């Protein structure tokens, strides 16, 4: 049985002729020993976390006896308290352990299926296309109404009213906010901490409502729009906070990036021109932005023609 204690020592190799198959502790020890120092530390923590979870859920048998259902259950548990990178690291660590253990056990004629392979543990992703990642306006309002902290409200309004990517917004400072005759503006520079997808600086409009929400979390000792300790709000912390908010709001299938897609689509619905949306989102061309014209969910010619009312239908993403 694997031991979750961090001070355990790797077990030495054994002579197969002198004993039976290796124990879990021996398998994990040799697996960790074969890794680089940095990977040992990271994967060792992941192993400890997994073993603690296995025991806390009352599962019988060895943690190495996990099935695909167990692996999926652990993945769901990790998603509740970690961002995508953390979940991916957990899955990679466990898959690495299983491959190492399977190679050793095969010499004893023991088959150890790997329940952590991506095909087995990947969650269904129903929202791959842009039109499936646009929230109805009432769902945006539901998110705002479900906010329990000033950081949550600032995040939702900041993302929705600027169309910025999450890393871009979290990387902005108050020195990037400035007034103009047309209203308040926010300059987004393509610096490393703001994400690197957009290579050029751009200036976007920012609403008074978003500014008010940001002022509620402003600190005198920090220039960050989203101060957090001695620096700014980390992406993984903001992502987890948003997912908790989405669960409370009854729209658990969304991610923060959906607000960017939703802002573009809703702005076009309310009469914005493509060039304005392109500049606000930082797209390289109108061709990129035009996807929102074609992707607004459920829109047909009938919606724009006299007498073309098609009635209402339930949101299919809320079914099941």
Q: Which residues are designated catalytic?
A: 165, 197, 257, 260, 283, 292
Tell how strand 177-178 and strand 202-205 pair up: unpaired
Token duo for residue 284: 């390289």
User: Cβ(156)–Cβ(145) under 8 Å?
Assistant: no
Measured between alpha carbons, how far is 251 from 139 in angstroms, rounded to an integer? 7
Token duo for residue 18: 């002198």
Measured between alpha carbons, how far is 10 from 107 in angstroms, rounded to an integer? 20
Measured between alpha carbons, how far is 93 from 81 in angstroms, rounded to an integer? 17
- Classify residue 133 as exposed, middle or buried by CB count within 10 Å of its CB (0-12, 13-18, 19+): buried
Q: Which residues 6+ apart lie within 8 Å of 112 measured at CB?
A: 64, 98, 101, 102, 105, 106
Measured between alpha carbons, how far is 49 from 94 in angstroms, rounded to an integer? 11
Token duo for residue 208: 């008074």
The DSSP call for residue 315 is -
Q: Please name every residue paired with 188 in a beta bridge, in sequence order, or none if there are none.
A: 202
C-alpha torsion sign, points 105, 107, 111, 114: positive
Give, in order, the Cα–Cα distances in Å from 222 to each of 173, 215, 219, 230, 260. 9, 12, 5, 8, 26
């Amino acid at each position: 049985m694997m031991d979750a204690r961090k001070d355990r020592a790797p077990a030495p190799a054994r002579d197969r002729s002198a004993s039976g198959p290796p124990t879990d502790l021996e398998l994990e020890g040799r697996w960790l020993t074969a890794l680089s120092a940095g990977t040992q530390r990271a994967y060792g923590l992941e192993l400890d976390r997994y073993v603690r979870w296995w025991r806390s859920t009352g599962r019988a048998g060895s943690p190495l006896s996990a099935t695909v259902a167990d692996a999926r259950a652990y993945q769901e548990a990790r998603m509740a308290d970690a961002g995508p990178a953390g979940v991916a690291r957990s899955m990679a660590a466990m898959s690495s352990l299983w491959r190492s253990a399977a190679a050793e056990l095969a010499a004893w004629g023991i088959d150890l299926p790997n329940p952590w392979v991506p095909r087995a543990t990947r969650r269904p992703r129903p929202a791959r296309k842009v039109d499936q990642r646009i929230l109805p306006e009432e769902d945006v309002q539901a998110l705002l109404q479900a906010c329990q902290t000033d950081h949550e409200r600032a995040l939702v309004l900041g993302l929705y009213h600027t169309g910025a990517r999450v890393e871009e917004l979290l990387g902005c400072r108050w020195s990037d906010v400035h007034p103009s005759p047309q209203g308040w503006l926010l300059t987004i520079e393509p610096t490393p901490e703001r994400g690197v997808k957009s290579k050029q600086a751009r200036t976007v409009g920012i609403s008074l409502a978003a500014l008010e929400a940001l002022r509620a979390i402003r600190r005198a000792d920090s220039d960050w729009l989203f101060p957090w300790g001695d620096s700014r709000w980390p992406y993984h912390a903001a992502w987890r906070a948003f997912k908790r908010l989405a669960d409370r709001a009854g729209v658990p299938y969304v991610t923060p990036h959906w607000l960017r897609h939703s802002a573009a689509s809703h702005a076009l619905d309310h009469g914005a021109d493509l060039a304005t949306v392109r500049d606000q989102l930082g797209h390289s061309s109108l061709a990129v932005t035009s996807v929102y014209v074609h992707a607004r969910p459920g829109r047909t010619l009938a919606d724009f023609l006299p007498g073309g009312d098609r009635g209402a239908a339930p949101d299919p993403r809320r079914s099941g």
